[in-house]
Amino acid sequence: MELEIEGARREHLAGVRDLFMREGWRSYAADQERTWRALSAPGTIALVARQRGRVVGVAQTLSDGEIQAFLTVLLIAEEHRGAGVGRTLLERIAHRTPGVRLDLISCADGFYGALGMRRVSGFRLSRERGAE
């Protein structure tokens, strides 16, 4: 099935939020306007994957434009997993993101390992109660 990868636009927002809600990513699901501000913030790139017009995946990176970049979001709809959508979306956004390295906090070690990424240790300070 044809997979379209494109820059996230406001018209994709309802589909993107649905992905976050279904995955229980509350920080992103709680407030659509806040999520849009986050996804369209300066220094970020956000892409969506669509099949038959429906949003089936979303990814976002944050970069200093020169050296360091972070993968801040990667989420594929559950029923579309295991079909290469995550790999395609990550490869596309990594290609478009400036910087010489891309770091991330993983909750899918096997996936990133399968893509040949090197494991390093990471930490997170959460500022929202109950945040994922």
Ligand X SMILES: CC(C)(COP(=O)(O)OP(=O)(O)OC[C@H]1O[C@@H](n2cnc3c(N)ncnc32)[C@H](O)[C@@H]1OP(=O)(O)O)[C@@H](O)C(=O)NCCC(=O)NCCS
Residues that bind ligand X (CB under 6 A): 23, 74-76, 81-87, 106-108, 110-111, 114
- Compute the 3-state secondary structure of the chain and give helix, strand, coil in percent, each to the nearest 5: 35, 25, 40
Contact 86, 76 (CB under 8 A): yes
Q: In whole angstroms, what is the distance from residue 55 CA to residue 123 CA?
A: 30
- Tell me how far, at minimum, the Cβ of 16 lies from ligand X, in Å: 13
Query: Which residue lies nearer to ligand X by CB, 66 or 68?
Result: 68
Coil, helix or strand for 10?
Answer: helix
- Is 13 or 58 the residue whose CB approaches ligand X more closely? 58
Cα–Cα distances (Å) from 99 to 27, 40, 116, in that order, read 26, 19, 18
Question: How far apart (Å, rounded) are the C-alpha atoms in residues 132 and 117?
Answer: 23
Q: Which is nearer to ligand X, 29 or 75 (CB)?
A: 75
Q: How far is the CB of 46 from ligand X (least distance, A)?
A: 14
- Residue 121 C-beta: closest distance to ligand X, Å: 15
66 vs 130, which CB is nearer to ligand X? 130
Smallest gap, in angstroms, from Cβ of residue 21 to ligand X? Answer: 13
